[in-house]
Structure 1
Amino acid sequence: MSRKTISTDTLRSWLRDGRELAVLDIRDAELVGYASPLFATNLPAERVAGELIRFVPRKAVRTVLVDGGDGVASRVANELEIGGWPNIFVLEGGIPAWTATGDGAPLPTFDIPGVDFVKAVEKEKKTPVISALELKKLQDAGEDVIVIDTRTVAEFTRDHVPGAVSVPGAELVLRYKDLVPSETTRVVVSCAGLPRAILGAQTLIDAQVPNEVSYLDDGTKAWTAAGLQLESGKTRIYQDPSDEARDFAREHIATLSSDDRFPEIDIDTARKWAVDSERTTYLLDVRTPEEFEKAHLDGTLSSEGGQLLGVAYRTIAVRGSRVVLVDDLLGVRARTVAHWLQRRGYEIALLLVDFRTQNWQSAARSGELVT
């Protein structure tokens, strides 16, 4: 075994030692699917050299490459070492060795699996649920019911429950009043399966919106399993929130986050943290991709809040890092994401920026920010 190859026992100990650690599953994305057994960040081998710095901002971080047991990780590790990465390691035997424990004991993971976390939330909170057939019956009877799909717009466009409106998870409280003006409307939150729907529904319930809220059991999967047809296309997509919606969101996000305590930092502090040689910091802009495209801080990554809620490990590759969530001054998306991520052990800070003012435009022209 070479100096840069580690055993499964060593990786187990590293996952428990509390120091910064990155674990990358470098197999093909189609093979990995929803998540690797480690719930590690998937970065296919051919992309590692060009994109690793995005996922692991500090080269000094211990970084473990895990392949399919085919030796690809050793080749990639050699390339990275030549490129100036001093702490790249290879898991001996890759994923096959990791999963072949033989003792039946649960495997440690890089992150808490999103499904496990959300099911624990559902059990604790007793989140209300509705079946596909029950929802269809309400729709057919002409009941006042709205289905809110919390996936990305791309996923929604591919297929969704007929009549649903696309509102990614972190946007729910911000856009809510424009979508649900009546307090008597029944609200059903949907996704492709369970995690984002449960968390979305519970977010609205904990924010104390006045409506009856439930989640669609097993989402679009259950809809098709019941023999029902999905529709496709950008049929109904969230719009810019009105002043009334923003006022509603301000009130209800305060309720959701009443017990949360997250430091709010300024841009100078964020920049100092980003170049800290002793600690990894992610600057993640949780607004919509469209907002990010119009204006954003230099050095930040567009990271839709709804996706962070469900699959944080796809973006946050360094265990033990700091996470700064960037949002507008209202901070509804950032506070929603922070509310749930901190329960999964992430260290969170908020950076709220007034992207809409003249001061923002002046700062951007000066080079302090980038648009």
Structure 2
Amino acid sequence: MQKNLLRLFPLLLVGLLAISLALIGCSSESKTEYQYISAAELKNKLDAGEDVIIVDIQVEEEFNRHFIKGAIPTYAFPVETAEDRAKLVSTLQEIKTSNAPVIIVCPRGGGGATRTYDYYKGEFVSEDRLFILADGQEQWPYNNLLGSIDNTEDIKQKSESVQIFQPKEAIIQYVSPEQVKSDIENDTDILLIDIQPENDFRKHHIQGSIATYAFPVTSNDDKQKLARILPDVLTSEAPVYVLCPRGRSGAENTLNFLAEQGVDPNRMFIIEGGQAGWPYEELVVTQ
């Protein structure tokens, strides 16, 4: 009996090791990886006059003591509650109407910063743009780029430039193919957003349309595809015409998503009948 147990012991060890490695692998795959920027790298960007958006989440008392010039104060630290996250909402308009990198500054570059990163990611800000200042405000070494409550003009100017982000409720309204054709032929300023899948878009789409491949706009991946065009939509006042395969739920989902991101619902229209019902072949492009 003892001999049998001794023979089985190495096999048990191998089995336990395999299970442990599998669990470690699973946990590492699910762990979010964050992008960081060093103080020196950020200083170089500021010295070069590059366009960056610095979001400072320090509590008000700490922000008043020291902040990087040009930073947007939010006082959102530690970004653990709904009330904390609500303080970040006012930054969304500036972030979503820009393609500039977003630098998140917290006291030490730790949990508050990663939670802010996750919040913006959940609001469909591209991760390519999100960076955490390594080691946070406490280790910022460049005093010439620091401001304080005694020098608040920069805070005032930056705060006044930030528009309050206002999610809206979509209005489902339609535009006829005839009206779209007229607008195209008269060079009227419009935004024509095509959400067809890529293969369908390549087969046929209306000239001048913006490809998103976001259909059916039900998953986060679909919405992320639409989020890429948000700066163009939010910085324009032109009517937004949405084209989907048949002018149904995919287009409605698009209107709902864009309204949630602050686009004026009165500007947005679904093209009746979608691509399947578009009658003007002379305005159709194939790839």
Q: TM-score, normalised by structure 2?
A: 0.39
Q: Which protein has the larger Cα radius of gyration, Structure 1 or Structure 2?
A: 2
